[in-house]
């Protein structure tokens, strides 16, 4: 069972038509399916309902290693269009390709360079307002390319100097979120410090001239994640420096934004996802406390313990110390989360080693369970290029090459 909590300012209950009451204080209801119609605009609404009542299985329709005659280098982003064609960002080629559902190359945008319509170090891609928004983290800019036949390329220079720590330039990362009908873009920026625990994450909305319109709410990495895994405390000329190594076979901390600028966050050790509006207000929370990750194999436990021993020796040889937090003999329950092109939230469950299928719980934009998705293991859908029953993903080939995969999700049975 999944528990969904929805938060608002007031709650109106309608039963058989008439308005019966208005609740101004925090309320919490268990809502059976036959209770009646419900309009939520208030503090907290709590409901339990089945997840995965309908399962949709992703069947591989096509797989290709090239855009026309050009083999893919490294796929850094994807965006599915309304007609199910997909824009694919090739980071190595600094080019965006439009691939149709037959696997044919339909259009090309960009090339390596600094001129109009050219890309430098592209890292992520967004399709919005009939334009392609390509983040170039190293060049600190967003290149805006026309997705259709009309329009000229543009460039948004990200002014980051005032958000940087002394001697440590701030960096922009993640894909841009396009707001105001294409007149601005929300960018996530990290302010770096020598001690990573002091790092600050900012959400800045830029206009097309590169000016910051406003700073928006964004969650900071929680202390329980910073303490999680292996942390070396090494002596330096300026004192002890923490060096985080993460946890072998451990959990990640995920923050993903939808097309409206709201976000969902999860620390993968628990199936507990908080969803917020662009203003930082929690709108709902999705909890499945019964979900557990698969157990580590004996080989995985040995590999984990060997890494612990290696880092202990490293710390001792450097005259430092080591801390290890969150040791578990199981994988985390949540592998990743992402919003798709329709703002549905996909919560991927961690598969056991050797599983032939990957699975995700899919929720509607208001947090209601929609369906359970299942597709062949090894196909990565983390780019969020899913719409309706269609989905595009990436699989690694035998020579570690990137393969573009098109899936069609059909109701099981």
Q: What is the pLDDT of residue 149?
A: 87
What integer pLDDT is reported at residue 176 of this predicted model? 96
Q: In terms of pTM, does the model score above 0.85? A: yes
Structural domains of the chain ordered from first start: 1-49 (no CATH), 52-65+265-274+331-413 (no CATH), 71-216 (2.120.10.30)
Reduce the secondary structure of the chain to three states and give it as a string: CEEEEEEEEEEEEECCCCEEEEECCCCCCCCCCCCCCEEEEEEEEEEEECCCCCEEEEEEEEEECEECCEECCCEEEEEECCCCCEEEEECCCCEEEEECCCCCEEEEECCECCCCCCECCCCEEEEECCEEEEEECCCCEEEEEECCCCCCCEEEECCCHHHCECCECCEEEEEEEEEHHHCEEEEEEEECCCCHHHCEEEEEEEECCCCEEEEECCCCCCHHHHCCEEEEEEEECCEEEEEEEECCCCCCEEEEECCCCCEEEEECCCCEEEEECCCCCEEEEEECCCCCCCECCHHHHHHHHHHHHHHHHHHHHCCCEEEEECCCCECCCEEEEEECCCCCEEEEECCCCCCCEEEEEEECCCCCEEEEEEEECCCECCCCCEECCEEEEEEECCCCCEEEEEEEEEECC
What pLDDT is stored for residue 173 in this prediction? 84
Residue with tokens 């005032």: 162
pLDDT of residue 42: 36
pLDDT along the chain (413 residues), means of 10: 53 35 32 31 42 85 95 97 98 97 97 94 96 90 94 93 90 93 96 90 96 96 94 91 92 97 97 98 96 97 97 95 96 98 98 96 96 98 98 96 98 83
């Amino acid at each position: 069972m999944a528990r969904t909590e929805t938060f608002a300012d007031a709650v109106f209950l309608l039963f058989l038509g008439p308005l019966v009451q208005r609740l101004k204080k925090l309320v919490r209801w268990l809502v059976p399916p036959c209770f009646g119609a419900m309009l939520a605009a208030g503090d907290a609404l709590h409901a339990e309902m089945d997840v995965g009542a309908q399962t949709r299985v992703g069947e591989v329709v096509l797989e290709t290693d090239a855009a026309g005659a050009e083999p893919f280098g490294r796929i850094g982003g994807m965006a599915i269009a309304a007609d199910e064609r997909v824009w694919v960002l090739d980071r190595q080629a600094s080019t965006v390709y439009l691939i149709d559902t037959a696997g044919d190359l339909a259009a090309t945008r960009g090339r390596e360079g600094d001129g109009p319509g050219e890309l430098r170090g592209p890292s992520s891609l967004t399709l919005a307002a009939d334009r392609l928004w390509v983040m170039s983290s190293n060049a600190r800019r967003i290149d805006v390319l026309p997705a259709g036949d009309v329009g000229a390329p543009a460039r948004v220079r990200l002014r980051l100097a005032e958000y940087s720590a002394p001697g440590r330039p701030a960096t922009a990362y993640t894909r841009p979120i396009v707001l105001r009908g294409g007149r601005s873009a929300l960018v996530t920026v990290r302010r770096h410090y020598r001690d990573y625990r002091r790092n600050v994450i900012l959400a800045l909305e830029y206009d097309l001239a590169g000016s910051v319109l406003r700073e928006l709410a964004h969650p900071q990495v929680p202390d329980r994640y910073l303490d999680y895994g292996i942390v070396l405390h090494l002596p330096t000329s300026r004192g002890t420096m923490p060096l985080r190594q993460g946890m072998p076979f451990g959990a990640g901390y995920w923050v993903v934004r939808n097309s409206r600028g709201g976000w969902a966050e999860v620390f993968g050790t628990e199936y507990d996802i908080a969803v917020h509006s662009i203003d930082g207000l929690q709108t709902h929370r999705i909890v499945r406390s019964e979900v557990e990750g698969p157990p580590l194999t004996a080989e995985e436990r040995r590999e984990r313990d060997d890494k612990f021993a290696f880092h202990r020796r490293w710390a001792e040889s450097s005259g430092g110390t080591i801390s290890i937090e969150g040791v578990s003999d199981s994988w985390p329950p949540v592998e990743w989360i992402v919003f798709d092109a329709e703002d549905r939230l996909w919560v991927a469950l961690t598969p056991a080693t050797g599983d032939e299928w990957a699975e995700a719980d899919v929720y509607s934009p208001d947090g209601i369970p929609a369906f359970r998705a299942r597709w062949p293991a090894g196909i990565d859908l983390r780019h969020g290029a899913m719409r309706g029953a269609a989905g595009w993903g990436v699989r690694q080939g035998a020579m570690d090459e990137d393969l573009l995969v098109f899936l069609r999700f059909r109701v099981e049975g």
